[in-house]
Amino acid sequence: MSMITEPPVATGPSAPNATEVAVGTRGRQSGGAGAVIRAYVSLTKPRIVELLLVTTVPAMMLAAQGLPSLWLTLVVLVGGALAAGGASALNCYIDRDIDLLMRRTKRRPLPTHVVAPRNALIFGLVLAAVSVTLMATFTNWLATVLTVASIAYYDLVYTLWLKRTTAQNTFWGGICGAAPVLIGWAAVTGSLPPAAWALFAVVFFWQLPHFYALAIKYKVDYARAGIPMLPVVASVRRVNLEILVYTWLTVLSSLVVWPLGMSPIYGITAVVVGAVFLLEAHRLARRSSRGEAIKPMRLFHWSTTYLTILFAAVALDALI
């Protein structure tokens, strides 16, 4: 199935010019200091940062078999938030051409000219540099290398290349999305045992049904911007199949964690919330295949709840 065609779209971000900078300056002047601060905060995509930290802290607790040192936890939280925020700001800079075309993103700071592109670029680079400096100074080489690799992969490999060229962008982009689990674990122990990789697998596979549900909701948006998300370029049957496969892989990965030193507190939680997650995925696939009205955001929101509850169980298990 070919991708829906729309008017030509630039295939890559262009360098900021004097007009962009001037327009951004006017936007800042008209919006006031408060609006500008909120715009810079929004460049970091706080909801994504929050979700990443939800997985990082429990992973650190499990690695420490209890509470890691408060100082280390603070460093990893701040460093991780800055890394994720910096990578997101750079993502906004790179994607400003397509963000302007999508209803979901056209009100972001760059398309609305509240922040000038050059300023967003500098902001993202500074956040990334500070995060790496923190990790290098107060953690260890493994956690630092993983942090650098995650930022570079997200912006240079995923945003610049994969997102714009392949329907498998969500799959390969999941590597950096699941990296905070490894970074948190590595910061505590300096190593990555099987339990760390099992948690990584949970988050990695979880991202597929989570973001496919979002892509179904905004299918027209992605098509307009020329982004080959799976729901844009593939049949409904193919999308449903991948949602089901990756939901099952998510739940199975969560169960693999159980025998790796976890108690029934985690195991029973994983079974219960996993069953509900599977139920929602099968419900969406069934209604979609029948041509009935679907609510993909129901699966999207439940998947967030699933991950939060599951990692809360990881943290509780580590404490007990």
Q: Return d(Cα 112, Cα 110) in angstroms, integer.
A: 5
Residue ranges of the chain with pLDDT lower than 50?
A: 1-30
Regarding whether 296 and 161 lie in a shared domain, the answer is: no
Regarding whether 295 and 174 lie in a shared domain, the answer is: no
At residue 14, the pLDDT reads 43
Regarding whether 147 and 68 lie in a shared domain, the answer is: yes
At residue 31, the pLDDT reads 56
Is residue 73 assigned to a domain?
yes
Q: Return d(Cα 77, Cα 81) in angstroms, integer.
A: 6
The answer to whether 164 and 12 are in contact (CB under 8 A) is yes
Closest by CA to 151, choosing from 82, 197, 98, 233, is 82
CB neighbours of residue 193 within 10 Å? 12
Question: CATH code at 23?
Answer: 1.10.357.140
Is residue 121 assigned to a domain?
yes
Residues 6+ apart with CB under 8 A from 293: 287
Regarding whether 213 and 304 lie in a shared domain, the answer is: yes
Regarding whether 178 and 53 lie in a shared domain, the answer is: yes
- Domain boundary residue among 175, 190, 205? 190
Regarding whether 235 and 127 lie in a shared domain, the answer is: no
Contacts 24+ apart (CB under 8 A), 33-39: 35/114, 36/114, 36/115, 39/109, 39/114, 39/115
Model confidence pLDDT, tens digit, residues 121-148? 999 999 999 999 999 999 999 999 999 9
Regarding whether 274 and 149 lie in a shared domain, the answer is: no
Give the chain's domain count.
2
Regarding whether 164 and 303 lie in a shared domain, the answer is: no
Is residue 204 assigned to a domain?
yes
Regarding whether 147 and 181 lie in a shared domain, the answer is: yes
Regarding whether 23 and 124 lie in a shared domain, the answer is: yes
Question: CATH code at 204?
Answer: 1.20.120.1780
Tokens 């802290």 correspond to what residue?
57
End-to-end CA distance of the chain: 52
Residues 6+ apart with CB under 8 A from 196: 59, 63, 181, 182, 185, 186
Query: pTM above 0.75?
Result: yes
Model confidence pLDDT, tens digit, residues 34-82? 888 999 999 998 887 787 788 999 999 999 999 999 999 999 999 999 9
Residues spanned by the domain of 121: 18-190
Regarding whether 175 and 73 lie in a shared domain, the answer is: yes
